[in-house]
Each structure stands twice: as C-alpha cells, then as structure tokens.
Amino acid sequence: MWSRPRRAPRQTLTLERIVAEAVALLDEEGVTGLTMRRLAERLGTGSTTLYWHVRTKEDVLDLALDAVFGEAPLPAARPGEPWHEPVRALMGAWRSALLRHPWSATVLDRPLLGPNALARTEFLFQALIAAGFPAPGGAAHSLAGFVTGSVISQVTWQERAGEEVDVFLRERAGGWPALAAHGLAPDWDATFAEGLGYLLAGMEQARS
C-alpha cells in the first residue's frame, strides 16, 4: 500500500473520507463488520467505486490502522527529564490509541509501514539513541513488540472472554491453581505499567 503512488484527486470521494468512515465502521461493528459494500453504502456510493481509490480491502485496513497510530501524540521533549519518560509516554499513547479501537488488535498482524506508525517508530529509535543506546534496535523492537502483545492480550480477554469462558475457567480452576489465583481479571493498566517498568529497568541497567 504505502509504496504505491497516490493519484491526483477530483475530491468528491477521497481516500481521507474512505479511511475516516472505515474507522467509524470498524469502531461500531468490529473487523467482521467491515465490508466493502457496507463501507460504500455509508459513503453513499457503490462498492465498485471504492476499488478506484483502493486496490484491495487490505489497503483499507492498512490505512485505518495507520489512522489509529496517528492518534498517539508524539511526546514533547522536555530538557532534563530522564530518558525513559518520553519512551514511557509514547508507549502509553501508542497503547491507548490501539485500545480506543479494539478491532486494531485483530489487525496488527501486518507490517506497520504507514507514515504515522513509522513516525512513532522513528521517534522511539531517536529517543533511545539520545538515551545512550548505541544499538537501539533490540530495545526498540522489544518495546514495540511488548505494546503489541499487551494490547492483543487485553483485547482478546476483554472482548471474547464473556460469561461462558469465565465460568469455564473457574469451574476447572483446580487444574491451574496458580493461574486461577493470580491470573484472572487483572488490572490491565497496572499490568501494562508493571511490565513496561520491568523492560525499562532492565534497559537502564544495561545502559549503565
């Protein structure tokens, strides 16, 4: 998607409108509710028309996902603050944006090559370099992967784990005593903060 050139617009139906409506539709009905026909209908056009602006449905998802990344603000640099502050802020904003659109978790299995995603990745690399990591690749990928994994875990448990699953787990809790005692219904925000803290602490230790 990102590597193909854009066309010159005539501005009746624009890529921007398509993406905005796609995000709205995804928010309302989830990933299975996104159909080219339904999306076209909401835009007051035919499904065929979409294919002039977009090559496949995958393109729509790529664009929608990058729009979500765009919601995560890049932290402003405050001189004198410890290096991990902007990193923590970025990862938190990253996570929040994804959680605000839970369908995004289902769709994270694609390369994040949109401009918004790349800008945030670049920010992360720069922050780590400024912090004194000469080879920030491992740290950056770890942080990004951690956010991705955390969001997916949380969303799948929250969304899919309804009554049925809960009952099932508690019924057989005897088979998984430690998990049942400490793993069910976690405080997701706290869990994320804790894990991010571990990562950053380990990185701080390796830095010095």
Partner DNA sequence: CTACTACTAGACCATCGATCCGGTCAGCGT
Partner DNA sequence: ACGCTGACCGGATCGATGGTCTAGTAGTAG
Ramachandran region, residue 11 (left: φ > 0; alpha: ψ -120 to 50; beta: rest): left
Residue 58 or 81: the one with the smaller Cβ distance to DNA is 58
Smallest separation, CB 97 to its own copies (Å): 16
Pick the closest to residue 147 from 193, 207, 110, 107 (CA basis).
193
Distance between CA 98 and CA 72 in Å, rounded?
A: 9
* Site of interaction with DNA (CB under 7 A): 7-13, 34-38, 40, 44-49, 51-53, 55-58
Distance between CA 15 and CA 12 in Å, rounded?
A: 10
Residue 161 contact partner, candidates its own copies, DNA, none, CB within 5 to 8 A by sort of partner: its own copies
Residue 3 or 12: the one with the smaller Cβ distance to its own copies is 3
* Site of interaction with its own copies (CB under 8 A): 2-3, 105-106, 108-111, 113, 118-119, 121-122, 125-126, 129, 135-150, 152-153, 155-157, 160-161, 164-165, 167-169, 175-179, 182-183, 186, 190-191, 194-195, 197-203, 205-206
> What type of residue is 55?
R
- Which element (helix H / strand E) includes 117? helix 115-130
Can you tell me which residue has the tokens 């991010």? 196
Smallest separation, CB 31 to DNA (Å): 10
Smallest separation, CB 43 to its own copies (Å): 27
